[in-house]
Chains A and B, each alone.
Chain A
Amino acid sequence: MSTSGLPQRKEFRATARLKQLMADHFHQLDEAAKTGSAKIAWCTSVGPAELLRAMGFLVYFPENHGAMLGATRTAMDYIPAANAAGYSPDICSYLTSDVGAFLRGETPLRRAYGIERVPRPDVLVYNTNQCRDVQDWFHFYGRRFGVPVLGISSPRGVEELSSVHIADVAAQLEAMVPALEKIAGRPLDMDRLREVVALSKRCSDLWKEVLDTARSVPSPWTFFDHTIHMGPAVVARGTPEAVEYYEILLEELRERIEQGMAAVDGERHRLYWEGMPIWGKLRDLANLFMDLRCCIVASTYCNSWIFSAFDPEDPFRSMAHAYTDIFICHAEPWKERYIEERIREFQVDGILFHDAKTCPNNSNSRYGMPQRLQERLGLPALVVHGDLNDLRCYSEEQVRTNIEAFVEQLEER
Chain B
Amino acid sequence: MIHIIYGGGVRDSMKGDATAKGALQGSGGGLRTSGIAVGEADAVWVGVDVGACATKVVVIDARRDMRGYHVLRSGVDYAAASREGLEQALDAAGVPPGRIRRVTSTGYGRNNVPFADEVRTEIGCHMKGCFHYHPHAATIVDIGGQDCKVIHVDDRGRRVGFKMNRKCAAGTGAFLEETALRLGVDLSRLDSLARGASKRIRLGAYCTVFSATEILALIRRGESLEDIARGLLESVVQRILEMDPLEGTVILSGGVIHHNPFLARILEEKLGREVVVPPRPQFMGAFGAALYALEGEGEEAS
Residues of A with Cβ closer than 8 Å to B? 1-2, 374, 380, 383, 385, 393, 395, 397-398, 401-402, 404-405, 408-409, 412-413
Contact = CB atoms under 8 A, between A and B. Distances in A.
Nearest to B106: A401
B147 A409 contact: no
Interface in B149-177: 158-164, 166-167
Given A2-B111, A385-B167, A409-B159, A398 B147 contact: yes
B132 interface: no
A405 B119 contact: no
A405 B124 contact: yes
Contact of A405 (B111, B121, B167): B121
10 A-B pairs with the lowest CB-CB distances in the bound complex, closest first = A405-B123, A405-B121, A412-B158, A404-B121, A408-B124, A409-B159, A395-B167, A385-B166, A401-B121, A1-B119
A401 B164 contact: yes
B162 A397 contact: no
A398 B123 CA distance: 11
Given A395-B167, A409-B162, 5 more contacts: A1-B121, A398-B147, A398-B167, A401-B108, A412-B159
A1 B120 contact: yes
Interface of B: 108, 111, 119-124, 147, 158-164, 166-167
Contacts of A374: 161
B120 A408 contact: yes
A165 B160 CA distance: 41
16 contacts: A2-B119, A374-B161, A398-B147, A401-B122, A401-B123, A405-B123, A405-B162, A408-B123, A408-B124, A408-B159, A409-B158, A409-B159, A409-B160, A412-B158, A412-B159, A413-B158
Contacts of B124: 405, 408
Contacts of A383: 163
B161 A380 contact: yes
Contacts of A402: 164
Contact of B121 (A385, A408, A412, A413): A408
A189 to B, nearest CB: 53
Contacts of A401: 108, 121-123, 164
A405 B121 CA distance: 6
B97 to A, nearest CB: 24
A401 B111 CA distance: 11
A402 B124 CA distance: 11
Contacts of B163: 383
A374 to B, nearest CB: 7
A393 to B, nearest CB: 8
Most chain A CB within a 10 A radius of its CB, from B121, B147, B162 = B121
A395 B146 CA distance: 12
A212 to B, nearest CB: 30
B164 A398 contact: yes
A405 B126 CA distance: 11
Most chain A CB within a 10 A radius of its CB, from B108, B122, B160, B167 = B167
Nearest to A392: B167
Contacts of B159: 405, 408-409, 412
Most chain A CB within a 10 A radius of its CB, from B120, B122, B159, B164 = B164
Contacts of B108: 397, 401
A307 B164 CA distance: 37
B256 to A, nearest CB: 18
A285 B245 CA distance: 29
A277 B108 CA distance: 25
Contacts of A409: 158-162
A285 to B, nearest CB: 16
Contacts of A408: 120-121, 123-124, 159
Contacts of A380: 160-161
